[in-house]
A and B are shown apart, each in its own frame.
Chain A
Amino acid sequence: MKDADAGTVHREFVKGNEAICHGALAAGCRHYFGYPITPQNDIPEYMSTHMAAHGGVFLQAESEVATINMLLGAAAAGKRVMTSSSGPGISLMQEGISYMAGSELPAVIVNISRSGPGLGGIAPSQGDYFQAVKGGGHGGCRIPVLAPHSVQEMYELTMHAFELADRYRTPVMILGDAIIGQMKEPYTPGLCEPPGPIDKPWATTGCAGRPRQHVKSLYLKDDDIERHNWKLHEKLQRIEKAEVRAESYHLEDARIVLVAFGTAARVCKTAIQWARKEGIAAGMIRPVTLFPFPKTLVHETAGKADLLLVVEMNTGQMVEDVMISTSHHDKVRFMGKPCAMPTPDDILAEIRLLAGKTS
């Protein structure tokens, strides 16, 4: 499709990492804390250059442990806050993320993920799916996870993340990867509305004119902690009901349905275009929210399609959520490539195989 609006709409050509910064600033984030790690250094570097001009605070912490706790503090003070990191740093943040989930503090945490485990490497990877989606922190902590697949979405979903964070009083994670962070492509700023200002009467801003209040996750008395857990659970259920997002790509008539997110989904789109040229009815479900997972869409689609092919840049993680979503386990296939981009040719070959074609 030729971009018909190209002449009239203002398009910027930036890295995905930079689009995240644009989204955060547009959403009113004025407090950024971070620590260097490849492949997300463009984010702290951009913030260090531009935050002051927006009247905000950029601070490089001495570690990710400190970073996430600075975030906790500024969020408790009622500010829109963000940090970004990659695997090793996100692991160090898990303690603080759990405390923030327990204390019901809004914040946006960006993971431009790389290969692991351990120091791993800087190659792109989707190996952090479980950590992000199943709650990397202790004590049953779970937070919404958004998975952008384009520079446009890096911008838009960052804004959306701030909105979700404030609305549900929860940390929200953006799960990108090295490809989507490092690549540049045109994007159109201003296509979606930034979240408006929101009242935070719970914030610890000094008790002038009101009784003192606390931001905390410790509940020792009676059955307070049980009640607190049920409350958090009820919140997650509301999120699951209202906040699922997924893209349906050529789903209407699809016999072979790919399920993929983020960068892997981009490659799948190319493979699907090629497959359709060969007369194979392929399509895709692309979860945009990884938690909450688009269970219903997956279940309904599994009922209609011949096969589901889950494609991930790891050895098989989201495929478990696909299995949980549907009882048609016999229809689910998996194709994984840990720590590298699958090529469209690889995926097309798999689609052909599943379609019983050997062209």
Chain B
Amino acid sequence: MGAELGIYKSCVSARSTDKEILKASQDGGIVTQLFGFALDEGIIEGAIVAVSKDFYKKYPEKCMACYADDTKEPFRPIPAIITTKAELMESRGTKYNISPNVSLIKEATRSFGLDKVGIVGTPCQMQAIRKGQLYPIGLRDVGDKIALAVGIFCMENFPYQSILQLVEDHAAMSMDSVRKMEIGKGKFWVYGKRGQVVQLPLKVTHKYEQPGCHVCLDYVANLGDISTGSVGSPDGWSTVFVRSKIGDSVWGKAMAAGCFETQPIEKVKPGLELVSKLANEKISKNKKTLEERATFGVGKALRNPYI
């Protein structure tokens, strides 16, 4: 196990000690618990998260909704800035389609006037904010206000219409009847509100993936202050990498405050070996895509963003 897991100071399997959080969190409620703690402690004054239409109905002024559809469709993530615990609780759970969370990073420091901003995002979104800190081309006075960046593991993401097709056409459920979606154990799971569960093999989902994901070389959010995902830990638990100085400090304080119960990552099944295996699979598959792009046409390459 090496570079594919990024640099980290510590790694554990963890879950929130707050039963309320766990009721609707995707996995161990790590993201919500961290932001909740950081809000309480004044480490952040607000956080950029992905919410859904119910949140929009209550707090439209906190959302970045540009088009009418944004606010109507179930499981359509809407980037939003939460500043209270109540708002935070409504952001729990993964929405498996694109939420441009970074689009709010400047606005958080402007209209919302936040000096200490939290943000959750996929590995590519962590790359975006670190590029933005080092090369703040259009992000004046933003970089040093990013107080806690929580990365979530990510194998791929989907356009909203792909999710529609997967749920409605393949799984034959209506979007409104879905309680939760999940990718795990080699399957795409759709859990209905009435208790029904449909699973699709991942080979069905591949063609629906966002193309931009096929050049992505990061699985476990190497550039988050803390990054987390379900893979590697038992059901209901999360794998957590503590990476930066900020991450280390926040994690230490949250642990001391009793926010999390943890198990050594070496003791849990399937453990880091699986994380490492999936990370390597993703990276080598996408490196191959980049190679293929180099000879895509006849003497013509597709662009490679990496320099």
- Do A and B belong to a common assembly? no
